[in-house]
Amino acid sequence: MREAEVIARLRRIATDPAARSLLDDVAVLDNLVITHDSIAQGAHFLPFDPPASVGWKLVTVNLSDLAAKGATPAGALLSLTLAGDSEWEDEFLGGVEAACESYGLPLIGGDTIALPAGAPRVLGLTAIGRAGPKVPGRDGGRPGDSLWVVGILGDGAAGLEQLLADPAAQGPMVDVYRRPIPQLEAGRTIAPHANAMMDVSDGLLLDSARMAGASGCAIELELDRLPLSMAFVAERGDTLDSRLFAATGGDDYALLAALPARLDPATLSLPQGTRMERIGSLAKGEPLLSLSWRGEPVQLPEKLGFEHSGDQYRGLPDPPVADRS
C-alpha cells in the first residue's frame, strides 16, 4: 500500500476530533500539539552518516512539525532500536541530547527494543508542544491567499545527492541534509496570521498539492520565485531543471504558509536572518497544482515528491528522502 492509501484506511479508525481527520501533520489534544516522526536507515539517513547527526535529525524533523503549527516544545518520547553497537548508540544519543538542549525540548520517556542481527535501524520520536493562540492546519487556505515559503529549498536533497556520489562529501548542503534547522520562532510568529501552514518535508510540489487538497483550492506556483541558496545555485545552476529538482527533492523542513493577501510579512517580528519568499497563490477551482517559470506555464513532473510505499523496499527507484505526510 502507498502512504496515501494507508492514511485513507486509518481515517476509519482515527475519528476523534484531536486527529484532525488525519489531514495534518499533528494531533491537537486539549492545548497540546502532538506529532510523531520515524526515520529509517536507507530512507532518511545513510548507513555512513555520523550517528550524532542522525540523533539531531530525528529530533529536529519532529520540531519542524511543531514549528508549522506555531507550537512551543514541551516534551518528547524516544523510540530507540538497539543493534548491539554501543558506540553508535552512544553517539546517536549525544545528537538527541544536543538537539533537545538547543531547542528546549525535555525528554520525558520512551521505549527501547533490540533489533535482529542485520536489521536496518528505525528510530522514532514523539514531540509534544504547547499550542499558541492559533494552530493552523493544512485545510484553512482560501482563494486569494498568497503562498509563502519560510526557509530554503533544495539544499537537503542536493546534499544527499552529493553523499550518494561521494560518502566523504562535505559542505553546506551536506550539513543541511544531516542537521536540519526547524523554523520554530518564525513559525510562532507567523501562525496567528496564517490561514494554513505546514512544513515542507516530502517536496514542495507534493506538499503544496496536499495543502490544495485539504483546503479545496487551486494552487499556482511560480518556480522562478523559489528561495535557493548560493551554494545550491553554484552547484546546480539556476535553471528550470534545477528548480524542479529543488521543488521535488524533499528534506527541506521549510514552512509553507497561506497568508491573507493583505498581510505584508515584513511587518512581522521575524527572527533576524529569516528568509521568506512569496512563491504563488491560492485560487478558486479544483484542488489542482499549476506551475509557471518566468511567466510561462510548465507541465507538472511525473513525480511531485516522495511518498512512502512498501514497494520502495522491493527494489523500486524511490529516492531515499522522506518525512511523514
Q: What is the pLDDT of residue 6?
A: 83
- What is the strand order of the sheet 122-130 is part of? 27-29, 32-40, 122-130, 72-82, 107-114
Which cell is 30 given? 486539549
pLDDT in tens, 228-272: 999 999 999 999 999 999 999 999 999 999 999 999 999 999 999
Are residues 281 and 236 both part of a single domain? yes
- The domain boundary, picked from 130, 162, 177, lies at 130
Grid cell 520554530 — which residue?
Answer: 184
The pLDDT-based confidence of 308 (bands split at 50, 70, 90) is: low
Residue closest to 257 by CA, chosen among 231, 227, 299, 286: 227
Are residues 152 and 299 both part of a single domain? yes
pLDDT in tens, 184-195: 999 999 999 999
Domain membership flag for residue 275: yes
Q: What is the pLDDT of residue 17?
A: 84
Q: What CATH number should be reported for the domain holding residue 157? A: 3.90.650.10
Are residues 102 and 201 both part of a single domain? no
How distant is the alpha carbon of residue 150 from its chain centre? Answer: 12
Are residues 100 and 177 both part of a single domain? no
Strands (E), 3-159: 27-29, 32-40, 72-82, 107-114, 122-130, 146-150
The pLDDT-based confidence of 294 (bands split at 50, 70, 90) is: very high
- Greater pLDDT, 323 or 203: 203
- The domain boundary, picked from 130, 155, 187, lies at 130
Are residues 163 and 301 both part of a single domain? yes
Residue closest to 131 by CA, chosen among 78, 67, 198: 67
Q: What percent of the chain has pLDDT over 70?
A: 94
Q: What is the pLDDT of residue 317?
A: 33
Q: What is the pLDDT of residue 195?
A: 98
The pLDDT-based confidence of 310 (bands split at 50, 70, 90) is: very low
pLDDT in tens, 176-230: 999 999 999 999 999 999 999 999 999 999 999 999 999 999 999 999 999 999 9
Are residues 36 and 181 both part of a single domain? no
How high is the mean pLDDT of the chain? 91
Domain membership flag for residue 136: no
- The domain boundary, picked from 130, 159, 184, lies at 130
DSSP one-letter string for 39-52: EEBTTTB-TTS-HH
Are residues 71 and 155 both part of a single domain? no
Query: What total of structural domains would you count in the chain?
Result: 2
Domain membership flag for residue 141: no
Helical axes 204-215 vs 240-248, angle rounded to 10°: 60
Cα separation, 303 vs 277, in Å, equals 24
3-state per-residue secondary structure call for the chain:
CEHHHHHHHHCCCCCCHHHHHHCCCCEEECCEEEEEEEEEECCCECCCCCHHHHHHHHHHHHHHHHHCCCCEEEEEEEEEEECCCHHHHHHHHHHHHHHHHHCCCCEEEEEEEECCCCCCCEEEEEEEEECCCCCCCCCCCCCCCEEEEECCCCHHHHHHHHHHHCCCCCCHHHHHHHCCCCCHHHHHHHHHHCCEEEEECCCHHHHHHHHHHHHCCEEEEEHHHCCCCHHHHHHHCCCHHHHHHHHHCCCCCEEEEEECCCCCHHHCCCCCCCCEEEEEEEECCCCCEEEEECCEEECCCCCCCCCCEHHHHCCCCCCCCCCCC
Q: What average pLDDT does range 299-304 have in this prediction?
A: 92
Q: What percent of the chain has pLDDT over 90?
A: 80
Q: What is the pLDDT of residue 124?
A: 96
Domain membership flag for residue 116: yes
Does the pLDDT of residue 318 top 70, yes or no?
A: no
Does the pLDDT of residue 13 top 70, yes or no?
A: yes
Are residues 126 and 166 both part of a single domain? no
Give the domain extent around 262: 146-313
Domain membership flag for residue 70: yes
Q: What CATH number should be reported for the domain holding residue 98? A: 3.30.1330.10
Q: What is the pLDDT of residue 18?
A: 84
Are residues 157 and 46 both part of a single domain? no
Are residues 26 and 169 both part of a single domain? no
Are residues 105 and 166 both part of a single domain? no
pLDDT in tens, 101-143: 999 999 999 999 998 888 889 999 999 999 999 999 999 999 9
Q: What is the pLDDT of residue 271?
A: 95
Does the pLDDT of residue 42 top 90, yes or no?
A: no
Q: What is the pLDDT of residue 307?
A: 67
Domain membership flag for residue 324: no
Are residues 188 and 223 both part of a single domain? yes
Domain membership flag for residue 319: no
The pLDDT-based confidence of 4 (bands split at 50, 70, 90) is: confident
Q: What is the pLDDT of residue 315?
A: 34
Sign of the torsion formed by the C-alpha atoms of 109, 64, 144 and 303 = negative
